[in-house]
Every structure is written in structure tokens, then in C-alpha cells.
Amino acid sequence: MTELEVSAGPRVSERVSGLLGRMTLEEKLAQIVGFWEKSEGEAVAPLQGEFEVARGLDDVIADGLGHLTRVYGTRPVDAVERARWLWTKQRWFVNETRLGIPALVHEECLTGLSAWGAATYPTPLAWGASFDPDLVTRMGELIGGSMRTLGIHQGLAPVLDVIRDPRWGRVDECISEDPYLVGTLGTSYVRGLQSTGVHATLKHFVGYSASQSGRNFGPVHAGPRELADVLLVPFEMGVVDGGVRSVMHSYAEIDGVPVAADPHLLTGVLRERWGFDGTVVADYFGVAFLHLLHHVAADLGDAAGQALAAGVDIELPTGDAYLAPLAAAVRAGTVDEALVDRAVLRALAQKEELGLLDATFDDEPPTEVDLDSPEHREVAALLAERSLVLLSNDGTLPLAPDASIAVIGPNADRAAALFGCYSFLNHVLAHHPDAAVGIETPTVLEALRREHGDGHVTSAHGCDVDTDDRSGFDAAVATAAAADVAVLVVGDHAGLFGRGTVGEGCDRDDLELPGVQRQLVEAVLDTGTPVVLVLLTGRPYAVDWALARTAAAVQAFFPGEEGGNAIAGVLSGRVNPSGRLPISMPRSAGAQPYTYLHPALGGDGDVTNLSTVPTLPFGHGLSYTSFTHSDLRVAPGASTSGGLTVTITVTNTGPRTGADVVQVYGKDVVASVTRPVAQLLGYHRIELAPGQSADVELAVPAARLAFTDRSGRRVVEPGELEVWVGSSCAQRDVEASVELTGETYPVTIDDARWTGVTVA
């Protein structure tokens, strides 16, 4: 074996090495590509029209195949029938190809398995609002169970991009603007999914969300410190703490170097520093984009060589670069075949780990599959309920049981409004308008009618999500004027590449509600009827003008199949809201990009006439009960190497059971480089009965305090640290000053990254 082959890592067995030795070049290349059968007009990946091929699956698999791409998630198909097809095809690979290696099947699973009739969960931004890693783990387990039953081996989730600009269309796929919240929840999803035997895939490694002006595929100008201290943090947690088995490269270029061709990131950081020994897969068409979009490769063979050298093992969704162009480059001597061998070893090692090298598929495929079982619905409902954020309330909520309610707005009675861009409904069914949704999706209007009784609820559409048409305003105003309270449901439509107001390729240059929705809200407010604003969106919008006039406001980040019921439950009081903002509610588009993790000069001050203070801060969220945080205690011995331990007493001082999210923040008072004015050090969601108290201890490890110093090392420096607990990053309910003692401590991969929690 060559030196390159050895670097594939200790997971390569003699069996896998022996297989490699028997392979022709064509058989090797077949194992490091996928194949995707698509129909014309099904645009679910960027520029896919540039890659349409006339050949079908049977024309390209004589030498075997690495991946079958999106077997269930490309069009609405019956899962049992498709499983029967899949088992037959896998038997063909086993019995009819020379080496008898089945294909690995991968599928999208960001908000549930992307398949017709499968449970669809809240979007990741809602996971962030829940602050509930255990529930996210349960969700991952259920999704993985469905995938395993159908013969799917790898899921293309979670997204660990840290939100840097809410104008970016893919915000609804992301968890938070805080890297620790992203890392803990994303890793929890990985653990849940992989516990079922399905491999998770971290994406998009790395920097994708920091694109210029919030524009998809835009250049990334992040420096090495932002990369290390913010953008890489969740990926490190997913790899080291989650044991993830696959990583997908980002489409982005960082300081002029496309990630797909960057060996420093894909090999140096990912494998050599973090010890990752799984497979790196290409984002769809990402290898070809080195030639077509980035223009750093002269042709597809050159692109293939650069990607392989950097560390991209598998080309997805098809073999545009890694088949004929790469074969020609290898035979011409411009690409070392040892690079191909390294990737093949990793691909075969993954198949061995998944049991595919021993699989015969002689068993029968599933004949009955419930992809939206009561257990799925239960977890979807819990996550939806825990993700809803009560932004403001003058006492109008919960709604009086006998109140007459006018339900108005473009998202009030639209099932698609409950789902994100990568839901099956918006991602796939948008191209099949005659197909049934396949799952029960009660809208907000339907759920409110069930919750309050149909006789108490009237409705009016008002306007569409993204239109200039105001012809429905008069009916909306009349309906609101005749009611005791108006529930106004506005927001987004998730889509792809300009077909939505949010989603992949649906970026914005302002943060106003799309279309004429602001004018609709203002027209209804002018009636004098109290207005409850429900924001059903995939990103936060600049709605300070609305919060100043509405009686109450609820933020729902695409809450999934049970989202309508969850919203109705919060409005009625059946559900006590407990979500917290995982991203700041922006002041304006002109204040972007903004993050609460800004240094002192990134906020307001006398040196500028423009304010960046968000309408509502990260971590904000109200409840129908009240909580106090008291008696903040910092254990003696806080140090640069050992971190610190904080204990806080939490008391439910209100009239009903509810959940609080304990948020511990810190600020490095003086450091060798500028530091954030606030940083989440740890959190814990806790449910308490009226009058109940609990002591929550959070053990903050050194790595949570680390940053990249002037020499490029990740360190913890001695000195003063301000610590506080509050209901948001901007609220200091109780605070303390802590002195970190000891020498400057260099943090390594062996240091703990998670804040431990104990409740007494």
C-alpha cells in the first residue's frame, strides 16, 4: 500500500484492502460516486439542469455503484413498493456484479425522512428555540428507525452552519446564531440517528452561512479566528463528541479557496486534528463546481483531482467528475491513482461498518411501514410546542374561551406554511401539485376551530405570502372588526431557488415581511380589535413596528406537522410557551450581519449614529408563568485549565407549571484579542410546578472559555470573567465577577467541550 492508502486510517480492514487490490480502475471509480434518477423539471438541487444525463441507472452500474441517491425522496412513491424495487436492485448488485458489493443508499432527513407519507418535524431553527437536546435525540432515533427499515444507510443531516446573517435563505435549515447551541443540538441529533445504525452527515463544512451579504454561494471573508472560534466549533463537537461517520463539504470559498479543494480543512483540520475517519461526501455537484463556478479547475478531470487531493471521498449525487473525466486524468498521469485508492478504501470501510459487504438482501423488504406513527406524532408535537416563542403579551393570551376570534392571514390556512425548505412537501411535492400531501397537516385555522369550537372562529385570507394584491384587505378588516380578537398569521413560504421567500437560493435584501403583509397587519390593527400576531417563518423579520402595537406575538419557526395544533394550544393556554429565541430578532436589514456574539465595537456607541440593537435579544421568550433566578454561586477554584462551576436557584413564582431555560453567560473583561460582550457558556431547560424551586449546577469546562489568541492557538487566559444568569443574553438577573487563576492554558482535542448539568 502507498502512503496515501495508509492515511485512510485504522478502520481499513484486510478485507477492504483485499477488495481494493482486486479492483479495476472502473470498479474503483464506481464505488466513489452516486447515481440519481430524476425526472425533468424536478429542480431540487442547484444548477442540476447542467448535469442531466440521458443514461438510466441500468446503463451505468455494470462495475457496481457507491451510492444510490435519494431513492425515496425524489418524487412521491409508495414506500413499500419502492422498498421492493430497492431490494431487487441490491440483489442485482450482490449477484450480478463481479465484486458483489451493494450500493449505499442516502437520503435527506433534516426535518424527518424525506419520503412521501413520512413524519415531518419542526425545522432546525425550531430545535434551537426548544433548547432541548434530549428531545432532539429522540427525534433522531425515530427518523433513523424509519430510514433503517427502508434500507437507507446514510442521512444528509444535520446542518451545523452557525447563522451569521438572517437575510441568507438557508437560515431555516440552521439551528442558531450561537455555536454552542448549534453544537449541542446538532450532536444530539447525530447521536439519535446513528444509534439506529444510520450514518449522519454534518453539513456544510465549513463557512457556508457566512456568505457575503447573506447571498447563497457568496464568497466568505471570515478570518481564521472567526473560523476557529465560531464556525468550526459545532463541527468539532459533532465529530469528536458525536462520532459522526460522514461530513459534507461546503459550496463556499473562504478567502479565495473553495472548501472542496482545501486540504487544510478537509484533511488537516477534519482528519489530522480531530481524528475523523469516516467519509467526506460532496455537496451535490460540488466537485464539478470547482470548474464551472469557482474556476479553479481547468476541466472536470482537474476538478476531480483537486477534490480527491483535498479529501472529498464521494462525489454526489452522480459521477460527473469522478467517472470518465477522472479515469482519463488517471490514465494521462495528471491525477495519482493513489488518491483514488484512498477514497475507495474509505468508501468500502463505511460499507463494511454498515454491514453492506455481508448483505445478501435475501430477506424480504418491509411489507407494512408506518412512517408517521403515533410515536412520531407525539415527538413532533412536543418539539413544536417547546419551540414556540412568546415574544410579547399584554394579557390577551391565553385567549378567553368564549372570545370570538378572527383568524386572518396568508399562513392561517396553508399547510405548506408549517414546513421548511427541506421538508418533503415543499422540497418535492411542489413539483407534483396533484399528489396528496400524505400526512395529516392541520393548519392553524383548522386547529383553532377544534380548540375553540367552530362557532367562535371566523376567517379571512387577506393576501398571499408574496404578492402586491390587496384585494382581500377589505374582507380581512371587516372580519377583524366583528371579532373580539384577531389572530393574524403571517410569514414565509419555503421554497428553492427563488420559488419561495425563504429556503435554499431564496435570499433577501430586506427583512420586511414579504409582499404586502405589513400593510395587511397595519390595516387590521387600525380596526382597534386586539391583534395576536403569529409569525410562521423560516427566518426572523424586522417587526419592531408590529410588536409596538399588537396585543401579543408568537414566533413559530416552521413547526412541522403538529405545528398548527401547537400554535392553537399556545393561543388557548393548553400549552404554556417555553421557547427561547435561538437568533436575535433583527432591527433592520441595514444592521446586518449581526450576532449577539459581537465585540464592544460591534454594538452601539458614540462612534456611530446607527444602532444595531436587535428588536429582541438572543434567548428571549415569555411564559404564562414567571420564574426568578437567585443565589448565584461560583465554586472556589475557577481556573484556566479547570473552568468554573456555577449554581443558580430557579423558582417558579407564577400560577402554573412551566419550563424555564436557564442561560449562563460570560464576558472576558480583558483579553489579548477582542472578545464578545456576551457568550453562552451553558444552558438547561427545566420544568417546575408553581412554587417549586431547584438548584441547577452548570460545570463550564475550559474549552467553553477558549478563544484563538494572537499566535493562532486556542487558549484560556487568566483574568476577570463576568458571569451572569438571565432570561436572555441582554438581561442580567444575577451576576458575579470571577477570577480565572493559573497560566494561559492551551486547549486541545482532549478537553471537554460540553457544560455539564446537575439538578438538585
Q: What is the mean pLDDT of residues 630-651?
A: 98
Residue 50: what pLDDT? 64
pLDDT higher than 70, residue 53: no
Sign of CA dihedral 11, 16, 21, 23: negative
Residue 410: which residues within 8 A CB-CB, separation 6 or more? 417, 461, 462, 463, 464, 465, 489, 490, 491, 515, 517
Residue 460: what pLDDT? 98
Residue 112: which residues within 8 A CB-CB, separation 6 or more? 118, 119, 120, 121, 143, 146, 376, 380, 423, 424, 560
Average pLDDT over the chain reads 95
CA atoms of 182 and 174, how far apart (whole Å): 8
Among candidates 179, 270, 257, 168, which has minimal Cα distance to 509? 168
**Reported confidence tier of residue 3, pLDDT bands at 50, 70, 90:** very low
Strands in 389-393's sheet, in edge-to-edge order, are 389-393, 552-557, 531-537, 485-491, 405-408, 457-460
pLDDT higher than 50, residue 600: yes
What pLDDT digit, counting tens, does each position of 124-159 carry? 999 999 999 999 999 999 999 999 999 999 999 999
Q: What is the mean pLDDT of residues 724-753?
A: 98
Q: What is the mean pLDDT of residues 203-214?
A: 97
Q: What is the mean pLDDT of residues 195-222?
A: 97
Quick one: which H or E segment has residue 353?
helix 337-353
pLDDT higher than 70, residue 45: no
CA atoms of 637 and 639, how far apart (whole Å): 6
User: How far does CA 109 lie from the centroid of its chain?
Assistant: 11
Percent of the chain at pLDDT > 70 equals 96
Lowest average pLDDT, out of 21-30, 56-65, 620-629, goes to 56-65
Q: What is the mean pLDDT of residues 197-207?
A: 98
Residue 22: what pLDDT? 97
**563-572 and 444-452 are packed helices; what angle lies between their axes, rounded to 10 degrees?**
40
Residue 37: what pLDDT? 84
Residue 1: what pLDDT? 32
Q: Is the pTM of this model over 0.95?
A: yes
Residue 2: what pLDDT? 38
pLDDT higher than 60, residue 464: yes
DSSP state of 616: B
Asked, as a colleague might, if the bond just before 206 is cis with ω within 30 of 0, I would say yes
CA atoms of 638 and 309, how far apart (whole Å): 44
pLDDT higher than 70, residue 99: yes
Which value, in Å, is the radius of gyration of the alpha carbons in the chain?
26
Intra-chain end-to-end CA distance of the chain, in Å: 56
More confident residue, 476 or 9: 476
CA atoms of 389 and 579, how far apart (whole Å): 4
Sign of CA dihedral 739, 740, 741, 743: negative
Strands in 67-69's sheet, in edge-to-edge order, are 34-35, 67-69, 104-107, 154-155
Residue 41: what pLDDT? 57
What pLDDT digit, counting tens, does each position of 10-19 carry? 479 999 999 9
Sign of CA dihedral 357, 359, 360, 366: negative
pLDDT higher than 60, residue 54: no
Residue 504: what pLDDT? 97
Among candidates 217, 343, 212, which has minimal Cα distance to 286? 217
Burial of 476 (0-12, 13-18, 19+ CB in 10 A): buried
What pLDDT digit, counting tens, does each position of 270-293 carry? 999 999 999 999 999 999 999 999
Residue 436: what pLDDT? 95
Residue 453: what pLDDT? 87
pLDDT higher than 90, residue 57: no
Alpha carbon distances (Å) from 332 to 54, 315, 326, 335:
27, 21, 10, 8
What pLDDT digit, counting tens, does each position of 572-581 carry? 999 999 999 9
Q: Write out the three cell numbers for 142.
A: 425515530
pLDDT higher than 60, residue 5: no
What pLDDT digit, counting tens, does each position of 527-562 carry? 999 999 999 999 999 999 999 999 999 999 999 999
Lowest average pLDDT, out of 6-20, 331-345, 361-375, 413-427, goes to 6-20
DSSP state of 622: B
Q: What is the mean pLDDT of residues 202-221?
A: 97
Percent of the chain at pLDDT > 90 equals 93
Quick one: which H or E segment has residue 645?
strand 644-652
CA atoms of 251 and 45, how far apart (whole Å): 12
Sign of CA dihedral 189, 193, 194, 199: negative
The residues with which 73 forms a beta bridge, in sequence order, are none
Residue 58: what pLDDT? 83
What pLDDT digit, counting tens, does each position of 465-479 carry? 999 999 999 999 999
Task: State residue 678 phi and psi, 5-degree precision.
Answer: -155, 145
CA atoms of 615 and 544, how far apart (whole Å): 6
Place of cell 454594538: 603
